[in-house]
Amino acid sequence: VKVTAIAGGTGAAKLLRGLAACLAPRDLTVIGNTGDDAEVWGLYVSPDLDTITYALAGRLDTARGWGLAGDTFRCLGAMAELGAETWFNLGDRDLATHLARTAALGAGAPLSIVTADIARSLGVDARVLPMSDDPVRTRIRVAGATAAGDDWLTFQEYFVREKALVEVLEVAYAGAPRARPAPGVVEAIAEAELIVICPSNPVTSIGPVLAVPGIPAALTAARAPIVGVSPIVSGTAVSGPAAQLMRVRGIPVSPVGVAQAYAPWLGVLLIDSGDRACVPGLLAQGVTPVLTEILMPDHEREVALARRVLEAPGV
Ligand code: GDP
């Protein structure tokens, strides 16, 4: 079956590794969030695309959930000596990705081509697409003055520098109204036999993808069943600030809220067996719940969950 997955970073990486183990690599297309993309030391860093690519290449540092396994941080140390800002950690081998990407973008290549080239170089046969070649940036408005005195933060300033500890008032996707889906994105949604919404932050990982004009319409028009995996288990996020950000958006911090964020096109949602109480709320929204084990602490469970996704009702 031809699968198109919409993905953020760490949560998505686990399910994608599982899917890659069950599918022919060419049958998997991943549409990645670029709302977290950032400029660090003049380099273009694309955390979610890199996490996806490294995961599919078998090179992701699975303990951290980002960066390359076995990487070193000597350049980071040297930058600190030079007085540069070093709250955003970049590994030495990882830096090569950002250097190559920045050079290619500077020479005029679109992000979609650069992303495909990096994936190919790392031996990834699945297709990795950015949601858009145009800049879309998640911005977080926080209460009170932060250390740097600004109240609209970039996603990385909020998540990494402030460790998501500040009170969030508002989330925006700068540039989204003018962004176009990257070449191949709408086609990958239209031609898929199964569309998977990875267990990713609905506000800052899937939200920016859905903010690109044309993508929600493509999902609504898609022939394929659309199956999601909840990033929320028993009223809280498995990791990261999804719960806080869903609250800011006024959506319930539960699988029902996840389904609400993906209305009207979500068909099936895999939820944790302990979240049985959410079944009526999901059915009321026209979403078919599948109760199963949705935590992926090891590769075996990544593959098991991927199998459940591939066996979902209607697939
Ligand atoms: P990031 O926020 O950019 O790192 O990327 P994601 O949005 O993909 O990852 C964070 C989301 O994944 C959070 O909302 C987590 O709750 C979710 N998540 C992480 N690990 C797991 C897991 O093993 N199972 C499920 N169901 N969700 C997970």
One-letter identity of residue 83: G
Atom of ligand 1 nearest to the CA of 201: 7
CA of 107 to the centre of ligand 1 (A): 34
The fraction of the chain above a pLDDT of 70, given in percent, is 98
pLDDT in tens, 169-226: 999 999 999 999 999 999 999 999 999 999 999 999 999 999 999 999 999 999 999 9
CB 121 less than 6 A from any atom of ligand 1: no
Q: Whose CA is nearest to atom 11 of ligand 1?
A: 200
265-291 tens-digit pLDDT: 999 999 999 999 999 999 999 999 999
**Angle, nearest 10°, between helix axes 10-22 and 47-56?**
30
Binding site membership of 156 for ligand 1 (Cβ less than 6 Å): no
Among 147, 135, 204, 148, smallest CA distance to 171 is for 204
Q: Which of 201, 203, 271, 302 to mutate to test the pocket of ligand 1 (most atoms within 8 A of CB)?
A: 201
Q: Which of 238, 299, 309 to mutate to test the pocket of ligand 1 (most atoms within 8 A of CB)?
A: 238
Instruction: Calculate how far, in angstroms, residue 10's C-alpha sits from the geometric centre of ligand 1.
Output: 6
- pLDDT by residue (tens digit) across 94-112? 999 999 999 999 999 999 9
106's enclosing H/E stretch is: helix 92-106
Contact 118, 53 (CB under 8 A): yes
Structure tokens, 146: 């932060």
Nearest CA to ligand 1 atom 20: 11
Quick one: pLDDT at residue 284? 97
Write out pLDDT tens, residues 36-58.
999 999 999 999 999 999 999 99
What pLDDT, on a 0 to 100 scale, did the predictor assign at position 294? 98
Q: Is the CB of 208 under 6 A from ligand 1?
A: no
Q: Is the pTM of this model over 0.85?
A: yes
